[in-house]
């Protein structure tokens, strides 16, 4: 089996690298300090078409294949995990509408999402409900031609700026998905600050207090919110996060190589030390392995192979665990300098930890991957 990028994919890769180097990396530390993404950067991403990267050309999107989408998320993730998270949640909202929406929902929302006229976000997690999504407490009561929604959502990425939310609530006790506009009566988004990492993800807590949602804003059928809509969204989310972890780890490796070559102790560069070389070797191999897992997941998605779902679980699990290990070693190589925000590895370390939690914790991945493998031998 031959594994290499096509000429077109290599061309896109060079564009993504250039954009990240010029427009993201120089401002990533500022994003982290201010806990926000500069609106001008979002505008530039919109102009590039990146917010429509995952959507069909029919609706104004770029319609990138999944390997190219993975490369985009890897390179953006190399520059700033928070900026990459915008691509993730915006894409989750758009792809949910593409897959489960009515023709009128698709015709109305997808061109706006592809053009960046509206920003989308994903609202599943609640103050008391994380991995156990079936226990959500938000409710939707059908009344005439609209739903009355009550409840709270928490840790909602881009919740401070999103225009529409893919929101999940129980309707007659059955998890159901809805498209909720920010300006709906009874809807409120409260900004949250103080995250350990990915600090510019502009998270918010959402409150629905007798929020009125038209019946035509329900996405899919009653009861399919988790089994169909959310799971397909989370599959995309895990894939983009896995690719972003590869980019983050690559940034750690690049910084470590530079530092180990220039930092002199005992009269020679610390890169001459075999223990430093061991850490760098493990970084190189782990980054390459994670990248290939992501490419395999993307390839299987492109050919509509059902195994892509479990391959995505594997990629997200390995890449997120790998990135925290690589970031830890990068800080160690930098010594005391690695513990200060004048060096980017301090931010990389904090960002890496977030990726072990979002879109399924490491432990949830371990349970599901093991259970799937055990079922295969029974």
What is the pLDDT of the chain when averaged over all its residues?
Answer: 96
pLDDT at 233: 94
- Catalytic, 359? Answer yes
- Is 3's pLDDT higher than 80? no
Across the range 342-361, mean pLDDT stands at 96
pLDDT digits (tens, 9 = 90+) for 181-238: 999 999 999 999 999 999 999 999 999 999 999 999 999 999 999 999 999 999 999 9
Domains parsed from the chain with CATH numbers:
7-114 (1.10.540.10), 120-223 (2.40.110.10), 226-376 (1.20.140.10)
Does residue 201 sit in helix, strand or coil? coil
The DSSP call for residue 36 is: S
The phi and psi torsions of 282 (rounded to 5 degrees) equal -65, -40
pLDDT digits (tens, 9 = 90+) for 306-316: 999 999 999 99
- Sort strands 218-219 and 204-214 into parallel, antiparallel or unpaired: unpaired
152: pLDDT confidence band, cut at 50, 70 and 90? Answer: very high
How many CB atoms are located within 10 Å of the residue 264 CB? 11
The phi and psi torsions of 236 (rounded to 5 degrees) equal -65, -40
Mean pLDDT lowest among 42-46, 229-233, 291-295, 329-333: 229-233
pLDDT at 1: 56
**Active-site entry in 216, 359, 366, 373:** 359
pLDDT at 53: 97
132: pLDDT confidence band, cut at 50, 70 and 90? Answer: confident
Contact yes or no for 109/96 (Cβ under 8 A): no
Does residue 171 sit in helix, strand or coil? strand
pLDDT at 130: 82
> The tokens 């990389």 sit on which residue?
348
How many CB atoms are located within 10 Å of the residue 229 CB? 27
pLDDT digits (tens, 9 = 90+) for 67-113: 999 999 999 999 999 999 999 999 999 999 999 999 999 999 999 99
Residue whose C-alpha is closest to residue 61's, from 36, 91, 40: 91
Across the range 164-174, mean pLDDT stands at 96
Contact yes or no for 248/179 (Cβ under 8 A): no
């Amino acid at each position: 089996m031959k594994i290499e990028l096509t000429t077109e994919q290599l061309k896109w890769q060079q564009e993504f690298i250039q954009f990240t180097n010029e427009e993201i990396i120089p401002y990533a530390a500022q994003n982290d300090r201010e806990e926000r993404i500069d609106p001008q950067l979002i505008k530039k991403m919109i102009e590039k078409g990146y917010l429509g990267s995952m959507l069909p050309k029919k609706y104004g999107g770029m319609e990138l294949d999944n390997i190219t989408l993975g490369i985009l998320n890897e390179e953006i993730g190399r520059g700033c995990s928070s900026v990459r998270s915008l691509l993730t949640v915006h894409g989750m909202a758009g792809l949910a509408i593409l897959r489960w929406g009515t023709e009128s929902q698709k015709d109305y929302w997808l061109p706006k999402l592809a053009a960046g006229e509206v920003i989308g976000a994903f609202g599943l997690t609640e103050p008391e409900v994380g991995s156990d999504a079936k226990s959500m407490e938000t409710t939707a009561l059908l009344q005439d031609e609209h739903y009355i929604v009550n409840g709270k959502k928490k840790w909602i990425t881009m919740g401070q700026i999103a225009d529409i939310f893919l929101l999940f609530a129980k309707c007659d006790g059955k998890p159901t998905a809805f498209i909720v506009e920010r300006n709906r009566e009874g809807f409120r988004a409260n900004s949250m600050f103080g995250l350990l990492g990915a600090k510019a993800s502009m998270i918010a807590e959402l409150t629905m207090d007798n929020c009125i949602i038209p019946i035509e804003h329900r996405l899919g059928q009653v009861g399919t919110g988790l089994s169909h809509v959310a799971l397909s969204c989370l599959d995309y989310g895990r894939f983009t996060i896995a690719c972003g972890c590869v980019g983050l780890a690559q940034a750690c490796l690049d910084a470590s190589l530079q530092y180990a070559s220039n930092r002199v102790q005992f009269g020679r560069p610390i890169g001459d030390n075999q223990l430093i070389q061991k850490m760098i070797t493990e970084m190189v191999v782990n980054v390459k392995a994670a990248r290939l897992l992501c490419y395999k997941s993307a390839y299987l998605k492109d050919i509509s192979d059902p195994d892509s779902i479990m391959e995505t679980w594997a990629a997200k699990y390995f890449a997120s665990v790998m990135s925290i290990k690589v970031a830890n070693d990068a800080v160690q190589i930098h010594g005391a300098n690695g513990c200060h925000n004048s060096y980017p590895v301090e931010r990389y370390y904090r960002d890496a930890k977030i990726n072990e939690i979002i879109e399924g914790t490491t432990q949830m991945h371990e349970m599901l991957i093991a259970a799937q493998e055990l079922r295969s031998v029974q």
